[in-house]
């Protein structure tokens, strides 16, 4: 019925006496000379329109008019737009809801596609497969052996040493492009990321890791080229803090193999920076088998190496142009690939 009344009559409804309002209503209806079924159709259209209108927009003020003469009261609903306060409140709710949905969706995406970025439990991160984010029983056994070894406990008790896991600092998306953190990792290879202890000044470094049977050159014997790769990376990482831009490339690497390195064993690499001149650093190191718990002395010497590391002249400018400099510098191979 409200759709058939003039706007002026509806707005004036609150100031018109009930009897006068009833007279005006009946006069308006008779003047339009419309049958009752048209009023019913109009009411049905109004109902369907209101049914599809959002609930917060369906705001009406109901006016009741008594026509007298025993007739039932006439009720008229006048649509009123929501107030500024309600509009502002609904807008704020939608904005906050959108922010919540985007944030929640981002967290779900990280859980699915980048689990390493949100895992905070250090024990879980260290035993995690770098590429697939999973750990089998053998990998967990290797990790537990390293974590509980007396030599590791000895390094942890030394206040001058800092415990790190450099391969875990490399972003997940970059690990497949880093040889020792990507292709060479996994069960029966380098099962867990090397556990590294360094003095933070570029003078000495210790790395403990396990080498599996898929890294062999001959059956049961680790490939000499793999051992050279491990020594190259470890010696370079040892001297990084002593150089101006904390990065260098290998200029020379000399290796003397002293004994075969058997597969499926734990090894320890000991490195020491012997000399630093500007952008140059000389480093020496040893690769030994990790002694059994309770054994006295060092493990068996497997090879000795010395290297000359040189920081490129333009590396400072390059490192300033590359975003996330710290994560790129976590691995010497990653930095060299970027250079």
- Active-site position among 69, 232, 254, 298: 232
- Note whether 231 and 269 are within 8 A (CB): yes
| Run of H or E residues at 10 | helix 7-11
CA distances from 143 to 122, 221, 269 (A): 12, 22, 17
Q: What is the pLDDT of residues 54-106, one digit of tens each?
A: 555 555 566 666 666 667 776 666 666 677 788 888 889 888 988 988 888 87
For residue 243, give the nearest of 165, 338, 337, 335 by alpha carbon. Answer: 335
Q: Max CA-CA distance within the chain?
A: 119
Place of tokens 């190259």: 232
Q: Going from the N-terminus, what domains does the chain have, and what CATH number goes with each?
A: 2-79 (no CATH), 114-338 (3.10.129.10)
Q: What is the pLDDT of residues 164-207, one digit of tens each?
A: 999 988 887 888 888 998 889 888 999 999 999 999 999 999 99
Low-confidence ranges of the chain (pLDDT < 70): 1-70, 74-81, 110-135, 316-339
Helices (H), 53-136: 84-113, 122-126
Q: Is 326 a catalytic site residue?
A: no
CA distance 243 to 278: 7
């Amino acid at each position: 019925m409200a759709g058939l009344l003039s706007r002026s009559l509806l707005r004036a409804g609150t100031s018109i006496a009930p009897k006068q309002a009833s007279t005006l209503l009946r006069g308006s209806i008779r003047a339009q000379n419309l049958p009752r079924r048209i009023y019913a159709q109009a009411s049905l259209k109004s109902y369907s329109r209101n049914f599809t209108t959002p609930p917060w927009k369906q705001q009406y003020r109901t006016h009741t008019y008594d026509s007298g003469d025993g007739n039932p009261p006439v009720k008229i609903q006048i649509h009123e737009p929501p107030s500024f306060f309600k509009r502002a409140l609904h807008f704020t709710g939608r904005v906050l809801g959108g922010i919540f949905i985007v944030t929640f969706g981002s967290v779900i995406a990280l859980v699915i596609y980048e689990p390493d970025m949100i895992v905070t439990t250090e024990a879980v991160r260290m035993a995690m497969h770098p590429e697939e984010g999973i750990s089998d029983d053998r990998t967990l056994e290797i990790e537990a052996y390293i974590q509980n070894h007396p030599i590791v406990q000895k390094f942890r008790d030394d206040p001058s040493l800092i415990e790190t896991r450099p391969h875990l600092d490399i972003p997940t998306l970059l690990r497949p492009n880093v040889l020792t953190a990507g292709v060479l990792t996994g069960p029966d290879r380098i099962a867990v990321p090397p556990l590294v202890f360094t003095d933070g000044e570029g003078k000495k470094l210790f790395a403990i890791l396990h080498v599996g049977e898929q890294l062999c050159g001959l059956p049961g014997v680790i490939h000499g080229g793999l051992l050279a790769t491990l020594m190259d990376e470890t010696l370079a990482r040892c001297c990084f803090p002593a150089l101006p831009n904390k990065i260098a490339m290998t200029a020379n690497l000399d290796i003397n193999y002293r004994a075969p390195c058997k597969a499926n064993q734990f090894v320890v690499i000991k490195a020491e920076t012997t000399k630093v001149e500007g952008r140059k650093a000389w480093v020496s190191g040893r690769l030994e088998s990790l002694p059994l718990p309770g054994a006295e002395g060092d493990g068996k010497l497997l090879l000795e190496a010395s290297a000359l590391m040189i920081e490129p002249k333009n590396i400072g400018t390059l490192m300033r142009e590359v975003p996330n400099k710290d994560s790129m510098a976590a691995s010497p191979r990653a930095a060299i690939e970027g250079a």
